[in-house]
Structure 1
Amino acid sequence: MNIALYKSRLLRFQSLIALFILCLGLSILSDKFLTVSNLWNVMRQISVNICISTGMTLIVLTAGIDLSVGSVLALCGAITAGLLKNGIEIPSNNLYIGFTILGAVLAGVLTGSALGAFSGFTITRFKVPPFVATLAMLTVARGLTMLWTQGFPISGLGDKFLYFGTGWFLGIPVPVWISGIIVAVALFVTNKTRLGRYIYAIGGNESAAKLSGINVNKVKIIVYTIAGALAGIGGLLVTSRLDSAQPNAGISYELDSIAAVVIGGTSLSGGRGSILGTVQGAIIIGVLNNGLVLLNVSPFWQQVVKGLVILLAVIIDKSNSKND
């Protein structure tokens, strides 16, 4: 009885234990890790993953997956940058439409929402597996990014726009504020609203959810739309921080996002997990990435390490599912 209780507590705090061990090891191996500037840099980098991982968590809770978030992030960032710097020209009508910062940002986020909604519609209307539908969207969004940018970065976006990615407010980086607000809203939605209860119900047992009167298709479309919008916000932060929309931005971001979700304890089978767990997972991935850079580990080996971490997290998730 006591063994089962201890095991339950260990599983509950496994992410925090892993984070503590990781931070302890890196602080011993590198004297730069625990510096204030480095820790703020880690938090700023983690903010992007927290944004997209929050949306990924909602999707995984419904037993889905989204492989397109990295490409959607790149497209939304490129659209935001392109509209802000160049606007829209229609030579045939001798017309030029300029965009304010707010207008360009909204256009980018709405683009992400639209792509997410399309993925959700494809999955629900045509019964395409989420893996296949979002893999297709990954390719489509990356292709649209290349078409929009013509393969060249869009730079020189202005100091006011840079504030989103590099600014400070009350002594805390603006990206941390943005990701914190997103997490707070997501916590409220998942814990206090009908939509949150529906998300968990669908992931737990979709057939039972349908029989209880839940509009499963509508909820899934909403979830994928939210995830697309959050990928758009991630694109805003990346573009602002770099002062440039890169055509190849967001590559492998979906892997970091899925890793954060799984490491945070959200089951890939759906119905079990939390936003706070994902935040812990995102911090672990961010600290791991930062530590590997500080230790001068080859980028190729960094990919190997992250892949093994994801595999280990999935194995632990499957093991926990069998024991439940």
Structure 2
Amino acid sequence: MEKAAKKQKMIFGMNRSVFMKKYGIFIVLLIMIAFMCVASPTFRTWGNVVSILQQVSVNGVLALGMVFVITAGGIDLSIGSMLALTSVIIGKSFEFSDSIWLAIILSVVVCAAFGFINGALIAKFNMFPFVVTLSTQLVIRGIGYIICDGETKTLANKAFRQIGLGKLGGFLPYSILILLVVAVVAYILLHWTKFGRHIYAVGGNMNAAIASGVKVFWTRTLSFVWMGICTAIGGVILTSRINAAQPNIGVGYETDAIAACVIGGTSFAGGVATIPGTMIGIAIIGVIYNGMNLLRISSYWQTVTKGLLVIGAVMLDMFINKKRN
């Protein structure tokens, strides 16, 4: 009887552990939403929901790129500068042509190229991702300032503003539709393709991946290329929202992207991540920032909260890895 009771208790504990691991972060999100609905009636209005969706669209797209980089064992600190460079490229493009697609394609190509440079330096020469991307962060932002000569220019293309501020049927923001499309593509890439399996393999155990015939160079490099593409898309949305080409935007955006990934269950040790978890992490950050604004908490404390979120997420990741090992 005692053995049966112990066995039943152990099974119950395991089931509870598995349940919390799978759905714990989603339960946290639901609790936060419930709290804010009670604390602020404004929170549950559709106008505020739309505001949250528009706020998280840029960070969401960035996080969906960052999750690939972190899962493959890297990190990218240059994405804030890429956002600024995207903004500058769009402004310059509109000086010569009114084509929105030309501006978008140029931005994607340039950011993907810088992503390739980041990935190639890290994968080929085994350089630390932190050092490489910190360096290219300065280079990229400097190039942005050189291109626009440090000037901010208002965009005259009214159709372009619809990307960041327009709504489908006057109801659903185009920016959140873009986020959902990127999320679907990211989900397919990470969970259903050979590239995704290789991302997990390289981040989980690089030596084992090499022994299994995984092309580590291309896997790591392409993870940064995908990051560059996502950054360009996020930069297009952000530039459309502010309706100006600014070389000084994007500061701190990498922190939100990293926080969303880690809160959503992505391991800094690599090899562990899910796209649904990342989306929940994005939503949590959006609810926190929006809730603090509604409760009139100082922006200074919001900055403190952002830092504490990252520290807490990293400590949780370390605890989970320790238990797993």
- How many residues align? The count is 313
Q: RMSD between aligned alpha carbons?
A: 1.2
Task: Tell me the secondary structure at the aligned position of residue 32 of structure 1.
Answer: helix
Larger deviation, residues 131-140 vs 165-174: 165-174
CA contact (8 A) 1:82 1:154 kept: no
- Asked if the contact 2:266–2:278 (Cα under 8 Å) also holds between the matched residues in 1, the reply is yes
1:152 deviation in Å?
A: 2.3
Aligned-partner residue type, residue 191 of structure 2? N
Structure 1 residue 99: Cα displacement: 5.4
Indicate if the aligned counterparts of 1:67 and 1:254 stay in contact, CA closer than 8 A.
yes
SS at match of 2:43: coil
Distance 1:66 1:284 in 2: 21
Alignment of 1:1-324 (within 5 A): 1=10, 2-84=12-94, 86-87=95-96, 98=97, 100-170=99-169, 171-324=171-324
The percentage of counterpart residues that share the same residue type is 36
Contact 1:81 1:239 in 2 (8 A): no
**Partner Cα distance (2:164, 2:107) in 1:** 15
Letter in 1 for 2:133: T
Which residue identity does 2:32 align to in structure 1? L
Q: Quick one: distance in 1 between partners of 2:155 and 2:203?
A: 44
- On the 8 A contact 2:153/2:245 being kept in 1, the answer is yes
8 A Cα contact 1:183 1:275, kept in partner: yes
1:81 maps to amino acid: G
**What is the rounded CA distance, in whole Å, between the counterparts of 1:79 and 1:148 in structure 2?**
8
Equivalent position of 1:94 in the other structure: none
Q: Name the counterpart of 1:92.
A: none
Offset at residue 290 of structure 1 (A)? 1.1
List alignment gaps of at least 5 residues for structure 2.
1-9
How far 1:62 moved relative to its partner?
0.6
**Measured at CA, do residues 201 and 108 of structure 1 come closer, stay the same or move farther in structure 2, by a change above 3 Å?**
same
Look up the equivalent residue of 1:296 and give its one-letter code: R
Q: Is the CA contact (8 Å cut-off) linking 2:155 and 2:245 kept in structure 1? A: no
Asked whether the 8 Å contact 1:46–1:286 carries over to 2, the reply is yes
* Partner secondary structure for residue 42 of structure 2: coil
The answer to whether the 8 A contact 2:80-2:252 is kept is yes
